[in-house]
Chains A and B, each alone.
Chain A
Amino acid sequence: MIKNYFKIAWRNALRQKQFSILNIIGLSIGICTCFIIGLYVHSELTYDTFHEKGDRIYRINQPDIWGDWGEQVSSTGPNVAVALREDAPEFEEVTRLLNRGSQVLRVLDGTESNVYNEDFYYAAEDNFFDVFSFPWIKGNKATALSEPMSMILSEEKAKTYFGDQNPIGKTVEVKDWEGHWQTYTVKGIIENVPYKSHFQFDVLVSLSSFSEQMKRDGWKWIWTAFGTYGLVKEGTDITALTNKIQAIPPKWAPPTTERIFNQTFEEFTKGYSWKLELQPLREVYRSGAPNFHTFGPTGNPMYVKIFGAIGILVLVLSSINFMNLSTARSSKRAKEIGVRKVLGSQKTALIKQFILESTLFVFLGTLIALLLVQLFLGVFNTVANTKLELSSYLGNPLFLVIIGVFILVLGIVSGSYPAFYLSAFRPAETLKSKISSKFKGKGIRNALVIFQFTISIALVICTFFVQKQLKYASSLDIGFDRDHILQIHNIEQLGFDTESLKTKLQSNPAFDKVGKSFGLPPDIWSGDRYKNIGGNSDVVQLRNVRTEEDYLDLLGVEFIAGRNFDISARPNDKYKVVLNEEAVKALGWGTRDAYENESPVGKILALASGNEDEFEVIGVVKNFNFNSIRQEIGPLVIIHHQNDKVWDYGAGLSYYSMRLHSESFKNSADVQEIITSVQEEIAQIDPSFPFEYSFMDQDFENTFVAEQQMGLVLNIFTVMALIIACLGLFGLSAFTAEQRVKELGIRKVLGAKMSELVILFTSEFAKLIMISILIAIPIAYFLVDDWLTNFAYRTSIDLWVFVLAAFIALIISILTVSFQALKSALVNPIESLRTE
């Protein structure tokens, strides 16, 4: 019997080639999309699962003590780990990780020395490998980090530095912040860190290498640069432990608040609780929160949800296609069903037969889909910046079982409606020599088409708005001209005084202006606590950046009160500050309208971080975006880079920025030449200088890289959904054409023009699309509106976008249908009427 079913299914498929091909293509695209999304979602949800003790590892998060106390951040002070070790014996191990930022490394190779710039360079405690499991290649895991000046390299870096030589025991020099070379000894080699890890490092050094600094600052709770991780003992009650460790900050942090800020713990926390949170390791990546995690990639649960939903929707769309096409061609199968029934087939046997058929289709579709996945995964990986792969799954028996279940379930689900529909035919009706031309089940089929197009149109609208928002973001007026600004990084490597370099750069005719700064928009993150003097003296948190006057000139920010620094004429300007409007407001000196009555220029503010030096305001600049335009503009204090009264004088990363003369370049080769000339000039000063540059407009663009990727991926899936919906519509119109061939023939004999026939035929489908549009618009509006709340600056939700999307959907669907319409309108009526 089964053999007979297979035979019938196979021969039917061959006989109705158009139907079969449409069905298989639709299914394959749907399944392929669903699989790719499935791989993506699976990958996103399984970060950090390779650690053997992973289910007992927790990251310690704490409030953002520098800003919003209500928000948790993932970095803590060094003393948190010390306190946990002392007060919470539930922890088997507590370990700290410190991101050292970009470092310059030197490796001697004979008499030559090679210089490398490493971005993924961390300091780790000696018990790091007792907590985390990274596969070890060489060296003694137990002792590798226990001594100062020890270094562990990834396989790849070891190969880069030492080639095929045994790296163990070799030395690597690292330039410290004072410019001295410190010598480290390689103690171990580990496999490259898997990409599915929330921390990514190439080089680890022992934290004890910085014992002096740790001794000096290890007690501080405000040096929030550490990642703190705890391995709890088996069977620990995490809720109880979390409750217990809340006692730690009030006990351990007061020395910090008292000695540094001269405030009690309660004064410092302003009534908030200094809440320590235990975040399970496997939640760290996938939850994408809290922020300020500085060790590697973070996930985005919103995208996992969005794409998961799209994957399921596309799959639903393609199974709807299957159902629609199967029931539409029922007239073709009616005779077979009638004969089978008369010959004694039970309804159940027919249902089984049709479900088996659909399962076969799904099976074939799945095989093709797997091939498509293999083919297109590379493209997807490039577009979405992922590292998905299929091959590792294919050998996994669990995956194969899942695929098997998937095929069965999809086969049964998408086969069930046609099966019940077809098997319910009454044989007496189907066997009357002519099959009833009454097209049964039309209502349901129309509803399914409407559903498909509603989803597709909603996706199209969302896609349009994502693109519109991205375009809006990149063309938004941010308060200064961000184009053509070349920025040279790592200037701190040249020491503090770089005037000679500046003179050289200024003499380069390619540059309009040159300026030094200790931070670059859109990445100005540092901030401090300030208060106004002579006012209410409330302590406020303000962002700050050190620059010289030329940099403000170069940006071209607008002064709305007072003036820029002018050191050459007034040397005392270095102890004065420039504020932005927001900072003026935050300090309680009013908005722009109030400046006429009482100018903020001449007012005094002071640091509220122990050191209470006072600074006079000499100017106010119009608000400009110094962070990603995802955020509102915050309050900003601009400090002169020579201000030696502020504690971070002379420290930190610095940059030279140059605005390119618009006539100095015509194409990218010219730009490259300019960059090379700068590189050569700096190399003359310091041959070991790690040359790095960027353009500010690109840096701003890059803050939207996740959205851009999401936009691209969304484009792809939207096109997929549209293709599937059109395939379905095409198939359905083909069958309608078949059904109506007689009607159209009669109309033609009675004198209908061809154009009238085409319109008659097409309008039936156009109606369905119109209904879909009406349903899709509010859904899309809701989704877009919700998504846009993620941005501080939002594009407007314009009506024309909806109209355009609706128009496009209508055109595409009419084109799809009109092929069939034309075909059936062109049929000679004698042909179509003869058979009756």
Chain B
Amino acid sequence: MLLQLNNISKWVHSGGQKVYLLKDISFWVNEGDFISIMGPSGSGKSTLLHILGMIDDFNEGEYTFLDESVHNLKEKYRANLYKQYIGFVFQSYHLIDELTVKENLEMPLLYKKYSGSERKAMVADMLDRFNIVGKKDLFPTQLSGGQQQLVGIARALIASPKLILADEPTGNLNSKQGEEIMDIFTQLNKEGVTIIQVTHSEKNMAYGSRVINLLDGSIQ
């Protein structure tokens, strides 16, 4: 088992009242799963994804990732944990505009202890794998949305994570680009990478092996 959530709740106070963003969420994920989180706007999909990615807190419940109790970890260890095992893909790509494709890919490696030559090799490998060698010196704004998302995925993958968290990865793309991206996810999943995606689209959901439906912060 890769991770398990037990009775996770998150709330905010609004006008003196507790408003639940997530309520009593429990599920588990095995290695090699391809899970789609579905639900209407405001149902808590992104919040759940951020909690899974350890970049957001929750108020109640337990989260176990690879036998580590995430809710008990200090921020520094948590960061080390997700740094090592988790890659993120975003709807709006979140590439750094001031860096070239090559430099964007290199960035996660800078926060881990890799030597310069190792980094170079890994970046070259990724550029090759995603067929974007020719774009390596371009800046994100010079790329199409599909190409940017490709770079985003490549960046998420570069440090060989066990889990990819994708937040509406095709939300900003046209259908053809979207299909290409989803094909890449399928391919990755076959290679053993666990994928959790948040999506609106029934079509994208179909790529996954399991669906979690959220409504108003609870699993349906």
Contacts and interface: CB of A to CB of B under 8 A. Distances in A.
Interface of A: 1, 4, 7-8, 11-12, 15, 335-336, 338-346, 349, 426-428, 431-433
Given A4-B106, A342-B55, A428-B55, 12 more contacts: A11-B99, A15-B97, A339-B95, A339-B96, A340-B96, A343-B88, A343-B108, A345-B111, A426-B56, A431-B55, A431-B90, A432-B46
Contacts, number: 66
A15 B98 contact: yes
Contact of A428 (B56, B94, B103): B56
Interface stretch (B75-83, B175-183, B212-220): B75-83
Given A428-B56, A433-B92, A4 B110 contact: yes
Interface of A is mostly: helix
A779 to B, nearest CB: 43
A346 B76 contact: yes
Contacts of B155: 343
A427 B55 contact: yes
A349 B111 CA distance: 9
A11 B55 contact: no
Contact of B96 (A336, A346, A428): A336
A341 B91 CA distance: 17
Given A344-B79, A344-B83, A433 B107 contact: no
B190 interface: no
Contacts of A340: 96, 107, 111
B111 A11 contact: no
A82 to B, nearest CB: 79
A345 B108 CA distance: 8
Contact of B103 (A7, A338, A345, A432): A7
B111 A346 contact: yes
A7 B55 contact: no
Nearest to B98: A11
Contacts of A4: 99, 103, 106-107, 110
Nearest to B91: A433
B106 to A, nearest CB: 8
A4 B50 CA distance: 27
Interface string B97-141: 111000100111011100000000000000000000000000000
Contacts of B92: 433
A15 B79 CA distance: 30
24 contacts: A4-B107, A11-B98, A12-B98, A15-B97, A15-B98, A336-B96, A336-B98, A339-B94, A339-B95, A339-B96, A339-B107, A343-B107, A343-B108, A343-B111, A343-B155, A344-B82, A344-B83, A346-B79, A426-B56, A427-B55, A428-B50, A431-B94, A432-B46, A433-B92
Nearest to A342: B88
Interface in B18-34: none
A8 B103 CA distance: 10
A489 B15 CA distance: 88
Given A342-B53, A344-B108, A346-B76, A8 B88 contact: no
Given A343-B107, A346-B111, A427-B55, A8 B90 contact: no
B181 to A, nearest CB: 17
Nearest to A340: B107
Contacts of A338: 94
A466 to B, nearest CB: 48
Contacts of A12: 98
Nearest to A341: B55
A339 B95 CA distance: 8
Given A4-B103, A344-B79, A432-B46, A335 B94 contact: yes
Contacts of B96: 8, 335-336, 339-340
Choose among B50, B91, B96, B99 the residue with the greatest number of A CB atoms under 10 Å from its CB. B96
A346 B82 CA distance: 12
B111 A344 contact: yes
B46 A1 contact: no
Interface in B51-66: 53, 55-56
Please name the 8 residue pairs, one residue from A and one from B, whose CB atoms are nearest each other, closest first.
A344-B83, A11-B98, A428-B56, A344-B111, A343-B108, A428-B50, A427-B55, A339-B94
A425 to B, nearest CB: 11
Nearest to A11: B98
Contacts of A431: 55, 90, 94
A8 B98 contact: yes
Contacts of A335: 94, 96
Contacts of B91: 433
B173 to A, nearest CB: 14
Contacts of B110: 1, 4
A330 to B, nearest CB: 15
Contacts of A426: 55-56
Choose among A1, A336, A428 the residue with the greatest number of B CB atoms under 10 Å from its CB. A428
Contacts of B97: 15, 336
Contacts of B94: 335, 338-339, 342, 431
Contacts of A341: 55
A11 B98 CA distance: 6
B70 to A, nearest CB: 15
Nearest to B107: A343
Contact of A8 (B99, B108, B112): B99
Contacts of B53: 342
Contacts of A433: 91-92
